[in-house]
Amino acid sequence: MGVSTFAYGVISRASKLGVALLLTTTLAQAETVKIAALGDSLTAGYGLAQADGFVPQLQAWLQANGADVEIMNAGVSGDTTAGGLSRVGWTLTSDTDAMIVALGGNDYLRGLDPAVSRANLDGILAVGREAGVEMLLVGLTVGGNYGPAYKQEFEAMYAELASEYSIPLYPDFAAALRASGDMSGAMSAFLQADGIHPNAEGVSAIVAAMGPTVLDLVSAAQ
């Protein structure tokens, strides 16, 4: 074999190795499930260091439990369901595999008509279905300060929409805090000074409770 022939063989093998490595890297990247977490300040991590927010803690929990996942924080503090509807289209990029929808808290705080909130959530889920992404809807348990009829209609819209779209529902974002059985104690232990937003420990409790449901979402999206 001449020098030029030998050199050609080395280059050829190196080229094939490079292609193989590129394909392996591409396939590995393709296996990563990308989730958009569409929400408000609870999703955004209001008042917390970046690493302590809902999205970073949830991603860390999922990865610790074997999921190859990347979560995009699409939480905007103060956002209503109308705000979520206005931005869901560009939030769901072509590489998004799944979406968590956790909105409605600010609608409740403003006393908005549950029928309007329901229509907005319906629109968000319709966009997600059109995009072909797996979805998880996160509901809320609210107070009775607007009356029992309001509370019932507001809380029921999540289950109704989850059923209509045949998607999983996590009924209450703060379920882990309510599970303590002592909300006054939970407020001091798990909430920030405003009494609304969870602190780092509160987020950790929420993530531990919600994590298995999101793990199922990851599996469905793979």
Task: pLDDT tens for the chain, 222 residues: list them.
Answer: 554 444 444 444 545 544 444 444 444 445 899 999 999 999 999 999 999 999 999 999 999 999 999 999 999 999 999 999 999 999 999 999 999 999 999 999 999 999 999 999 999 999 999 999 999 999 999 999 999 999 999 999 999 999 999 999 999 999 999 887 665 665 678 999 998 999 999 999 999 999 999 999 999 999
Catalytic residue among 107, 117, 197, 204: 197
Give, as one character, the DSSP assignment of residue 137. E
Is 163 designated active site? no
Whole-number Cα distances in Å, 36 to 64, 100, 142: 19, 6, 25
Annotated catalytic residue, options 40, 41, 97, 107 = 41
Active site residue 41: yes
| CATH dotted code for 32-221 | 3.40.50.1110
Tokens for 59, please give them. 């991603």
The Cα–Cα gap between 159 and 3 comes to 73
By the 8 A CB rule, do 176 and 208 touch?
yes
The token pair at 175 is 């379920």
Q: DSSP letters along 147-185, please?
A: -HHHHHHHHHHHHHHHHHHT--EE--TTHHHHTTS-HHH
Q: Would you kindly state where each structural domain of the chain is located, as residue ranges?
A: 1-31, 32-221
In the sheet with 69-75, reading across from the earlier edge strand, the strands are 69-75, 33-39, 98-102, 134-138, 169-170
